[in-house]
Amino acid sequence: MWDYTDKVMDHFRNPRNVGTIEHPDGKATVGSLACGDALTFMFRLGPDGRIAEAKFQTFGCASAVASSSALTEMVLGKTLEEAEKITNRDIAEYLGGLPDQKMHCSVMGREALEAAIHNYRTGEENTVSVNEEIVCTCFGVSREEIERVAKENSLHTVDEVTNFCKAGGGCGMCRDRIQEILDEVNHAAAAAPAAPAPKKLTTLQKIRLIEQTLDEQVRPVLKKDGGDVELVDVDGDTVRIAFRGMCAGCRSAALTRDNLIAARLHEFVDPALRVVTE
């Protein structure tokens, strides 16, 4: 069982303000069934411009329900300007804390609040603009969102980012990108030694980089379908590979070679590489 505080369990067992408001001033839904948790949050303003009523509906685990319930209690009586200042940390602290792996529940609360206020002000239903870079496609998490949770919660590792906003917790393909964003946020780039990258790779460096790229970028994809790839030889710019498992003899193997393997090797090792099958 999770180490939930008594307050989390109380809000889970006896959630406050469940339901809907007939004519809400602001309303938003964040998350989805496929993601495993979702929250619909809405509020009504009183004549004094303060939140007079807040309601929620949640699909999710005990801490998702508790975070939503806590949020509705926290915003009551606040002006929108005051409510906007609520962070995910405030929600977690209100509940006496959440397990690390469950921090994303508090982030979901803050996101819903923000989206509902945005909805009140603009009438728009969605705060994610089309131009935004979606980093984690499994859970639909944008670059902006990752930057924000990283800054607000002083996050340094990809696992921490996953705990707080789920990004990187699905197929894992975006984990490198998340690390880059973290490095930028934490100015790690500035601290890194500014040694210029060697112009030409030695053969040994090239082989190691190819193996590393196959390991990190290619194999996880192939393994999902029970396949694998083996590096047979590297001769100058010619990379000789062999498909294994379900990839061996697969009719799409040539497509995989060109669209996945060659593309990744060009990106991460050297654009001059030519990939051939054994």
Partner 1 sequence: MRTVYLDNNATTCVAPEVTEAMMPYFTELWGNPSSMHAFGGQVAASVTKARGTVADFIGAERPEEIVFNGCATEGDNHALMGVAATWNGPGTIITSRVEHPAVLGPCLRLREMGHNVIEIGVDGEGRFDLEAYEAALAANPGPKLVSVMWANNETGVIFPIRRIAELGKAAGATVHTDAVQAAGKLPIDVREVPVDLLTLAGHKMHAPKGIGVLYVRRGTRMRPFVIGGHQERGRRGGTENVPYIVGMAKACELAKAALADGSEARIAAMRDRLEAGLLATCPDSRVNGARACRVPNTLNISFEYIEGESVIYLLSDLGICASTGSACAAGSLEPSHVIRAMGVPFTAVHGSIRFSLSRYTTDAEIDYVLKHTPEVVAKMRALSPFVPH
Instruction: Provide the annotated active-site residues.
Output: 35, 105
CB of residue 156 to partner 1, shortest distance in Å: 20
Cβ proximity to partner 1, 81 vs 278, nearer residue = 278
Q: Structure tokens of 271?
A: 């654009």
**Distance of closest approach, residue 117 Cβ to partner 1, in angstroms:** 19
Give the CA radius of gyration of the chain: 24
Rounded to a whole number, what is the distance in angstroms from the first to the last CA of the chain?
A: 51
Place of tokens 């889970």: 12
What's the closest the beta carbon of residue 13 comes to partner 1, in angstroms? 7
Beta-sheet strands, E only, within 144-250: 227-235, 238-245
Helix ranges (DSSP H) in 80-130: 80-84, 88-94, 103-122
Q: Tokens at residue 56, please? A: 């929620």
Shortest distance (Å) from residue 126 CB to partner 1: 16
Structure tokens, 101: 């792996």
Residue 43 neighbours by CB under 8 Å, 6+ apart? 21, 24, 25, 26, 27, 51, 53, 54, 55, 75, 116, 120
- Minimum distance from CB of 10 to partner 1 (Å)? 12
Closer to partner 1 by CB, 121 or 244: give it.
Answer: 244
Comparing CB distances to partner 1, the nearer of 77 and 172 is: 172
Q: Confirm if 224 and 246 have CB atoms less than 8 A apart.
A: no
- Report the DSSP pairing between strands 227-235 and 238-245: antiparallel
Cβ atoms of 24 and 44 within 8 Å: the answer is: yes
H or E segment to which residue 184 belongs: helix 175-185
138 vs 201, beta carbon nearer partner 1: 138
Of the CA atoms within 13 Å of residue 166, those in its CB half-sphere come to 21
Nearer to partner 1 by C-beta: 77 or 245?
Answer: 245
Binding stretches for partner 1 (CB under 8 A):
1, 9, 12-13, 15, 18, 29, 33-34, 36-40, 57-62, 64-65, 101-102, 139, 162, 166, 169-170, 223, 226, 228, 230, 244-246, 248-249
Between 101 and 179, CB nearer to partner 1: 101
Beta carbon of residue 191, minimum distance to partner 1 (angstroms, whole number): 31
Number of Cβ within 10 Å of residue 59's Cβ equals 15
